[in-house]
Structure 1
């Protein structure tokens, strides 16, 4: 029995040494198998937890409010992304990875992505404004620009309108914020 205990201790020591063998350096941090395992497990738990919290917010917290289904999903998605961002920062900080080295790269990347996705971001923010302020709702009869019809769906980037000729027109959400909109159902 003592022999088995010694073998297990020896195996555990060699396994622990393998986990702590540095693979490469990332800034001032040394990355080893143990760190990669910790990050993988922590990120998996964070993703599962954020999905569960999103369902909890929609199903329990906001269930008795008088929000539309689209607005409920928008709030839940914002909660999930907030939890993911904060969770990733906490995970990387507790793992000992210095994120200050990434700040310059993230800033430069953010500027490039910002210019590239300017219209998409504008439409996304406009979609959030539409969902929260509710100048139009699904089922409303509206006129925006040269388009007359009924609002069929309001999504994050664009709104679908069915015209009198039964044609689906996808209108970017920024047109509802920057242009003149006549809501015949309001």
Structure 2
């Protein structure tokens, strides 16, 4: 690329703009030396000092009054907090407009021109400060606030044309494309507005989709994700098109980026594709209870890269979508919410097994969460060394309520029932036989007693 093609700054044009701005600044400073302009500056400083003193006097009293209104709705309290923080600016705007209107009533309008400009600036800044509080992201709120303050200040001072020429002169040339700072600012503002609109439409549509009970939870998540991709993609390309960026030049670049992403971010792409597959085949959905390895819990949300699983102890596991596709997953509530649980126990050989089975079934029926229309069953599964071994099976319909706790309740019900009916739970017993002619020695407090 030739040096002429990489010319970054047209120096003559920048110098011309700078000289024009310096000339206007000199005229403004010379105007301040006129008597009434100086008077207006002094009046504005006096109003600011009065607003500062009045705010220092009213701010503690407003704070005490706010504390007495703790039961108010949150939006009212937020407005009061903003008013408390911006009290000096509010008082300054009110006082300066009172002075401007009074001077227009009793003197020539030209003698209050500078005060009116200051009042317009202060009012615009105050309005922007209140309006930007609606933006939740602190960084974005600060960028919008200072950007709006700059644009309003330039508009009120009639410096927008000079600022536009200065930003447009700061440019670089890349082949046939000229990229200026003004074009970057236009693109940033346009994209910000379009993305904000896309975000609002996405949130509104997502809430409507979630309220539609005819759509399954997994399809709701898929529809919301597709809608977000469509809206944000449209906003991005529309923003570039509106600012004059040639989209055909991005085709080769996007293809190269796609190839690089395919090789360098295989796991990320695999998780994204796996997430789409999970949503399409409806294998899992929010609210399902799953087991994956040692992790047991219910699905809190489905993301583009991972699935959030919350366990009974409050831990939240972020499991990559690829693991759910390639690994073995136990979905306790895939086709229905009914779950069968098994517990094992044993009784002594002296107890009647027919009676033990009936007692165990009745004990399980008396526990909460055990389903009655799917009655428990009890079977003998073997004859052990010390006990007759049984299995008790029962059904529940709310696995999200936990499995260990219901097993513990059934065991406790069995214990109470066996104690009531005299059923014993044996423990291993061993017999020791002495061979003829052998001796037994015991030790007590260090002394040895033989034979």
Give the TM-score normalised by the residue count of structure 2.
0.33
Asked if 1:79 is matched to 2:227, the reply is yes
> The residue matched to 1:159 in structure 2 has which SS?
strand
Q: Report the aligned-residue RMSD.
A: 3.6
Asked if 1:45 is matched to 2:210, the reply is no
Residues 59/33 of structure 1: CA separation in 2 closer, same or farther (3 Å cut): same
> The residue matched to 2:211 in structure 1 has which SS?
coil
Residues 154/27 of structure 1: CA separation in 2 closer, same or farther (3 Å cut): farther
Q: Structure 2: how far apart are the matches of 1:16 and 1:143?
A: 61
> The residue matched to 1:137 in structure 2 has which SS?
coil
Larger RCO: 1 or 2 (CA < 8 Å, sep 6+): 1
| Greater C-alpha radius of gyration | 2
Q: Structure 1: how far apart are the matches of 2:280 and 2:218?
A: 10
Q: Structure 2: how far apart are the matches of 1:88 and 1:11?
A: 30
Pairwise mapping of residues 88-99 of structure 1 onto structure 2 (< 5 A)? 88-99=236-247
Q: Structure 2: how far apart are the matches of 1:77 and 1:103?
A: 24
Structure 1 residue ranges without an equivalent (≥5): 1-9
Residues 106/182 of structure 1: CA separation in 2 closer, same or farther (3 Å cut): same
Task: Say which is worse superposed, 41-50 or 12-21, in terms of deviation.
Answer: 12-21
Q: Provide the residue aligned with 1:4 in structure 2.
A: none
Pairwise mapping of residues 127-142 of structure 1 onto structure 2 (< 5 A)? 127-142=275-290
Correspondent of 2:297 among 150, 153, 157: 150
Structure 2 residue ranges without an equivalent (≥5): 1-157, 336-451
Q: CA deviation at 1:53?
A: 0.6
The structure with more strand, counted as a fraction of residues: 1
Q: Structure 2: how far apart are the matches of 1:155 and 1:93?
A: 33
Q: Provide the residue aligned with 2:249 in structure 1.
A: 101
Q: CA deviation at 1:50?
A: 0.9
> The residue matched to 1:135 in structure 2 has which SS?
coil
CA deviations on 1:91-114 (whole Å, 9 max, x unpaired) are: 223322223333323222221112
Q: CA deviation at 1:49?
A: 0.4
Pairwise mapping of residues 55-70 of structure 1 onto structure 2 (< 5 A)? 55-60=203-208, 63-67=211-215
Q: Provide the residue aligned with 2:113 in structure 1.
A: none
Task: Say which is worse superposed, 52-61 or 92-101, in terms of deviation.
Answer: 92-101
Q: Is the 8 A contact 1:161 1:171 kept in 2?
A: yes
Q: CA deviation at 1:17?
A: 4.0
Q: Provide the residue aligned with 2:404 in structure 1.
A: none
Q: Structure 1: how far apart are the matches of 2:191 and 2:206?
A: 23
> The residue matched to 1:48 in structure 2 has which SS?
helix
CA deviations on 1:13-67 (whole Å, 9 max, x unpaired) are: 6555445436112442322344233212211111110111111212335532444
Q: Provide the residue aligned with 2:99 in structure 1.
A: none
> The residue matched to 2:246 in structure 1 has which SS?
coil
Q: Provide the residue aligned with 1:31 in structure 2.
A: 179
